[in-house]
C-alpha cells in the first residue's frame, strides 16, 4: 500500500488513558489480529479482570516484547487516507528515547488529559518536551468525558486552563476534542452524546493533519550508519536525512572535510540514480577508506562546518544534575562525542514554566536551560529549526539517558 505513514506519539499524565486510547483506535479501525480480542477476553476472565482496553494493549505489548523486534514494539492502524504508527511513551525517558531513535520520530502528538482530573504535572512536562523536540502538530484529547456525563461545561473549563498553559509555551493545538476512549465516543465518528461539539472526531482530525514533506528541498545530509564490505565493493549504509543524493554527485565527508564522489546508489539491493530525504540506502563512493559510522555526507559545495562548541537548549531528566565542566556523551544521530557544559543560563522549571534569570552552575531534574557545550571532537550538527534530525541530541552518562537537547547555534 503506497499510502503515507504518520508517526503519532500519545502522551499525557499517568492513568489519563493513553493505553485505553491505543486499544480503542486499534479496535475501532479493525486493526487487531483475527481472534485476538476473544483470546485476550478469555485471558482476562481467567485472571479475574475486566477486559479493559488498557489490559488488551498491555497484553499486545508483552507479546511484541517477547518477539524482541524493534519494528513491532509499536502499534499501527490504517485509515482510507493514511497509515498510522503509534509511538508508545510510557514515561519521560522512554518517550525521549523512542522519539530520538530516528525511525519513530513523531509527526504529531496526541496529548491526552483526563477531563475529570485536569492538567497534571506530567501533562505539562510532556507538553514542554514535545515543544522542545519540535513537534508542531498537537491534538488535545480531553478524555473520560463519560465520567463528566458528557457535559460541555467540564470540557470548557479544562480547555480554558489548557489553552492558557499552551499559550505560554507556545503550542497552538490543531484540535481540542472531548472523547471517551473507554466508550469510543468521538474517536472514529462524531459522538451523539456530545452534539454540542462541532469539531472533527479524533480520527478525522488525524487524517486532516498536514504532513511535513519539505525535507527534500533542503540541502543534502546523509548520515552514515554502517559500512559493509560486499565482494569487491564497500557499501556505505545510512539515511538521507534531507535533500537528494544522486549518482555522480561530488560530496564532502564530514567531519573529515574530505571530498569524494558517489559511484552508485542502492535501494533494497537495486541500483538507483537518485535517493530522497527519508530513504535508507546504500551508496558506493569513489573513496570510502576513512569512512565510518557517525560520519555525515553533504554536497561538496554546501556543507555544515563541524563544530567544537555550540549553543543549545537542554532538558534534564536525571536526578543527578548537569554540572559545568563535567564530561558526558552527546549522541546526535549516529555520532557520539564527549562534551562538557561551559555555561548554563536561565533555567526554567518545565512544569511551572518559571524562569530563574541568569547563570547557574548546575541544571537540575526536570529543568531546561540554555547551555553552551564544548565538544572534544568535531560534531556535525545543524540548527534544529533548519534540519531537525541533525539538530536534536541526547546526553548520556554511563550508558544512561540524562537529558535531551536541541542545537540553537544562530
Residues forming the site for ligand GDP (CB under 6 A) = 12, 14-20, 52, 54, 143-144, 146-147, 180-182
Q: How many CB atoms lie within 10 A of CB 394?
A: 20
Q: Give CA–CA dist 211/207, Å, rounded.
A: 10
Closer CB to ligand GDP, residue 99 or residue 223?
Answer: 99
Q: Give CA–CA dist 1/228, Å, rounded.
A: 30
The least CB distance from residue 89 to ligand GDP, in Å, is: 10
The least CB distance from residue 316 to ligand GDP, in Å, is: 24
Closer CB to ligand GDP, residue 17 or residue 391?
Answer: 17
Q: How many CB atoms lie within 10 A of CB 128?
A: 22
Q: What sign does the dihedral 67-68-71-74 (CA atoms) show?
A: positive
Q: Give CA–CA dist 264/261, Å, rounded.
A: 9
Closer CB to ligand GDP, residue 50 or residue 289?
Answer: 50
Q: What's the maximum distance between 2 C-alpha atoms anywhere in the chain?
A: 71
Residue 341 corresponds to which cell in the numbers above?
557544559
Residue 223 corresponds to which cell in the numbers above?
548520515
The least CB distance from residue 142 to ligand GDP, in Å, is: 10
The least CB distance from residue 377 to ligand GDP, in Å, is: 41
The least CB distance from residue 130 to ligand GDP, in Å, is: 16
Closer CB to ligand GDP, residue 17 or residue 405?
Answer: 17
The least CB distance from residue 366 to ligand GDP, in Å, is: 19
Closer CB to ligand GDP, residue 135 or residue 148?
Answer: 148
Residue 336, φ and ψ in degrees, nearest 5: -135, 120
- CA distance readout (Å), 147 to 11, 88, 305: 20, 25, 56
Closer CB to ligand GDP, residue 122 or residue 334?
Answer: 122
Q: Give CA–CA dist 68/47, Å, rounded.
A: 25
The least CB distance from residue 150 to ligand GDP, in Å, is: 11
Closer CB to ligand GDP, residue 47 or residue 270?
Answer: 47
Q: Give CA–CA dist 5/19, Å, rounded.
A: 21
8 Å CB contact between 144 and 112: no
The least CB distance from residue 50 to ligand GDP, in Å, is: 8
One DSSP character per residue, 4-40 reads -EEEEEEEESTTSSHHHHHHHHHHHTT-SPTTHHHHH
3-state secondary structure string, 360-372?
A: ECEECCCEEEEEE
8 Å CB contact between 223 and 331: no
8 Å CB contact between 252 and 299: yes
Closer CB to ligand GDP, residue 144 or residue 154?
Answer: 144
Closer CB to ligand GDP, residue 177 or residue 181?
Answer: 181
The least CB distance from residue 2 to ligand GDP, in Å, is: 33
Q: What is the CA radius of gyration of the chain?
A: 23
Closer CB to ligand GDP, residue 12 or residue 304?
Answer: 12
Secondary structure letter of residue 327 according to DSSP:
-
The least CB distance from residue 116 to ligand GDP, in Å, is: 8
Amino acid at each position: 500500500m503506497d499510502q503515507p505513514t504518520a508517526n503519532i506519539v500519545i502522551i499525557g499524565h499517568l492513568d489519563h488513558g493513553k493505553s485505553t486510547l491505543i486499544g480503542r483506535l486499534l479496535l475501532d479501525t479493525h486493526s487487531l489480529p483475527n481472534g485476538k480480542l476473544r483470546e485476550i477476553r478469555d485471558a482476562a476472565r481467567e485472571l479475574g479482570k475486566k477486559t479493559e482496553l488498557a489490559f488488551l494493549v498491555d497484553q499486545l505489548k508483552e507479546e511484541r516484547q517477547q518477539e524482541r523486534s524493534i519494528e513491532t514494539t509499536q502499534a499501527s492502524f490504517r485509515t482510507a487516507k493514511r497509515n498510522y504508527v503509534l509511538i508508545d511513551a510510557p514515561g519521560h525517558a522512554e518517550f525521549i528515547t523512542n522519539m530520538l531513535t530516528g525511525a519513530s520520530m513523531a509527526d504529531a502528538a496526541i496529548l491526552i488529559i483526563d477531563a475529570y482530573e485536569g492538567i497534571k504535572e506530567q501533562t505539562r512536562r510532556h507538553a514542554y518536551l514535545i515543544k522542545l523536540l519540535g513537534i508542531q502538530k498537537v491534538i488535545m484529547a480531553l478524555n473520560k468525558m463519560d465520567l463528566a456525563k458528557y457535559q460541555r461545561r467540564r470540557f470548557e473549563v479544562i480547555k480554558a486552563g489548557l489553552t492558557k498553559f499552551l499559550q505560554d509555551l507556545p503550542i497552538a493545538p490543531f484540535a481540542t476534542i472531548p472523547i471517551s476512549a473507554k466508550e469510543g465516543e468521538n474517536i472514529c465518528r462524531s459522538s451523539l452524546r456530545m452534539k454540542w461539539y462541532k469539531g472533527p472526531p479524533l480520527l478525522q482530525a488525524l487524517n486532516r493533519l498536514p504532513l511535513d514533506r519539505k525535507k527534500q528541498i533542503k540541502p543534502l545530509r546523509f548520515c552514515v550508519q554502517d559500512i559493509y564490505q560486499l565482494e569487491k565493493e564497500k557499501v556505505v549504509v545510512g539515511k538521507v536525512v534531507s535533500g537528494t543524493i544522486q549518482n555522480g554527485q561530488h560530496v564532502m565527508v564530514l567531519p573529515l572535510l574530505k571530498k569524494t564522489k558517489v559511484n552508485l546508489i542502492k535501494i533494497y539491493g537495486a541500483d538507483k540514480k537518485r535517493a530522497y530525504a527519508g530513504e535508507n540506502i546504500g551508496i558506493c563512493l569513489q573513496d570510502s577508506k576513512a569512512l565510518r559510522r557517525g560520519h555525515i555526507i553533504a554536497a561538496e559545495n554546501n556543507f555544515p562546518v563541524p563544530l567544537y562548541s555550540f549553543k543549545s537548549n537542554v532538558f534534564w531528566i536525571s536526578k543527578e544534575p548537569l554540572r559545568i565542566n563535567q564530561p558526558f556523551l552527546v549522541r546526535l544521530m549516529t555520532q557520539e562525542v564527549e562534551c562538557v557544559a561551559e555555561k548554563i543560563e536561565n533555567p526554567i522549571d518545565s512544569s511551572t514554566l518559571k524562569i530563574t534569570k541568569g547563570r547557574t552552575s548546575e541544571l537540575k531534574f526536570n529543568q531546561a536551560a540554555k547551555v553552551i557545550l564544548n565538544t572534544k571532537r568535531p560534531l556535525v550538527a545543524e540548527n534544529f529549526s533548519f534540519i531537525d534530525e541533525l539538530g536534536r541530541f541526547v546526553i548520556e552518562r554511563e550508558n544512561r539517558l540524562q537529558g535531551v537537547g536541541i542545537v540553537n547555534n544562530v
